[in-house]
């Protein structure tokens, strides 16, 4: 039986974890599409290459204290870094506060992190590494275990239907030439299945929003002859995140 104290503790932990994961996502989004390791070398200024100390790496706070500049060379640091950290922390806290069971917080936090990474890389105009798509599908898939453990199997029906809708919409995008290479197409389908499955699990029928909006975006792009518009995956990502969080709040 969950108490209010459990819920408050889960919200604080999830929010704090979100700030740290947001900081890690900044590293992932910058390095992974460039073929660099996410663990080595340690965090450094991309201008003067000076390695950052622990106090220069605190999510949001370091950027504020340093007033958005490198401590060593004074080069400006994009406000996107603290904003991604804040957004991830806020989304993780909102999910922990609203989801039906605390057990479902970790898989959904992981799916949201995967969607955010995918959307940010797409906004940068870079190729989304296939590993992110497969990891997102795996994280969404762990909701099957949560449903079994919490005797809540009716969510799985909607999850499967919404995963199907998201896969179909992604297929339309692939048809427009938005995603050309075979391995990227497979990963995009996996990613869509993960997003749709998670959204269906949380928002049930409302999770169909992802498939519908993304299909409309694909059709609009196809009609205008814009096969490769940057940010189209990010649009679908935003719809997915709103669906998951709004679904969690609405079905609370
Ligand atoms: Zn510097």
Per-residue pLDDT reduced to its tens digit, 116-168: 999 999 899 888 899 999 999 999 999 999 888 887 888 899 999 999 999 99
Distance, CA 42 to ligand 1 centroid (Å)?
Answer: 14
The answer to whether 196 and 241 are in contact (CB under 8 A) is no
Distance, CA 83 to ligand 1 centroid (Å)?
Answer: 20
Cis amide bond preceding 41, omega within 30? yes
In sequence order, the 6+-apart residues with CB closer than 8 A to the CB of 132 are 28, 32, 114, 117, 118, 121, 187, 191
Quick check: 227 pLDDT over 60?
Answer: no
Alpha-carbon Rg for the chain, nearest whole angstrom, is: 19
Q: Rounded to two decimals, what is the model's pTM? A: 0.91
Distance, CA 38 to ligand 1 centroid (Å)?
Answer: 19
Dihedral sign computed on CA atoms, order 72, 76, 80, 86: positive
How many residues are present in the chain?
A: 252
Rounded to a whole number of angstroms, the distance between the first and last alpha carbons of the chain is 16
Distance, CA 86 to ligand 1 centroid (Å)?
Answer: 23
Distance, CA 16 to ligand 1 centroid (Å)?
Answer: 27
Residue list, CB under 5 A from ion ligand 1: 45, 47-48, 70, 72-73, 75
Q: What is the pLDDT of residues 1-39, one digit of tens each?
A: 578 888 899 899 999 999 999 999 999 999 999 999 988
Distance, CA 45 to ligand 1 centroid (Å)?
Answer: 5
- As a 3-state breakdown, the chain gives helix, strand, coil percent values, each rounded to 5, of 70, 0, 25
Distance, CA 122 to ligand 1 centroid (Å)?
Answer: 26
Q: Count of CB atoms within 10 A of residue 149's CB? A: 11
Domain spans in the chain, listed from the N-terminal domain onward: 1-97, 99-252
Distance, CA 209 to ligand 1 centroid (Å)?
Answer: 43
Determine the pLDDT at residue 180.
Answer: 77
Distance, CA 67 to ligand 1 centroid (Å)?
Answer: 13
Q: Read off the tokens for 114.
A: 């995967």
Distance, CA 44 to ligand 1 centroid (Å)?
Answer: 8
Q: Out of 100-109, 162-171, 209-218, pick the least confident.
A: 209-218
The span from the CA of 196 to the CA of 220, in Å, is 21
């Amino acid at each position: 039986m969950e108490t209010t104290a459990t819920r408050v503790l889960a919200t604080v932990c999830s929010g704090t974890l979100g700030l740290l994961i947001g900081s890690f996502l900044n590293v992932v989004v910058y390095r992974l599409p460039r073929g660099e390791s996410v663990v080595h070398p340690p965090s450094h200024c991309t201008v003067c290459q000076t390695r950052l100390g622990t106090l220069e790496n605190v999510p949001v706070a370091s950027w504020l204290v340093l007033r958005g500049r490198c401590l060593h060379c004074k080069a400006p640091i994009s406000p996107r870094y603290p904003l991604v950290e804040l957004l991830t922390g806020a989304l993780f806290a909102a999910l922990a506060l609203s989801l039906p069971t605390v057990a479902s917080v970790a898989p959904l936090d992981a799916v949201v992190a995967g969607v955010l990474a995918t959307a940010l890389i797409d906004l940068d105009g870079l190729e989304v590494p296939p590993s992110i798509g497969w990891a997102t599908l795996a994280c969404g898939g762990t909701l099957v275990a949560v449903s079994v453990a919490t005797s809540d199997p009716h969510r799985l029906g909607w999850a499967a239907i919404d995963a199907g809708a998201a896969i179909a919409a992604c297929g339309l995008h692939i048809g427009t030439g938005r995603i050309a290479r075979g391995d990227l197409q497979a990963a995009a389908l996996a990613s869509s299945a993960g997003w749709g499955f998670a959204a269906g699990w949380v928002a049930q029928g409302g999770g169909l929003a992802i498939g519908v909006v993304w299909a409309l975006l694909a059709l609009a792009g196809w009609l205008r002859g814009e096969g490769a518009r940057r940010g189209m995956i990010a649009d679908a990502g935003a719809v997915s995140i709103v669906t998951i969080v709004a679904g969690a709040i609405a079905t609370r």
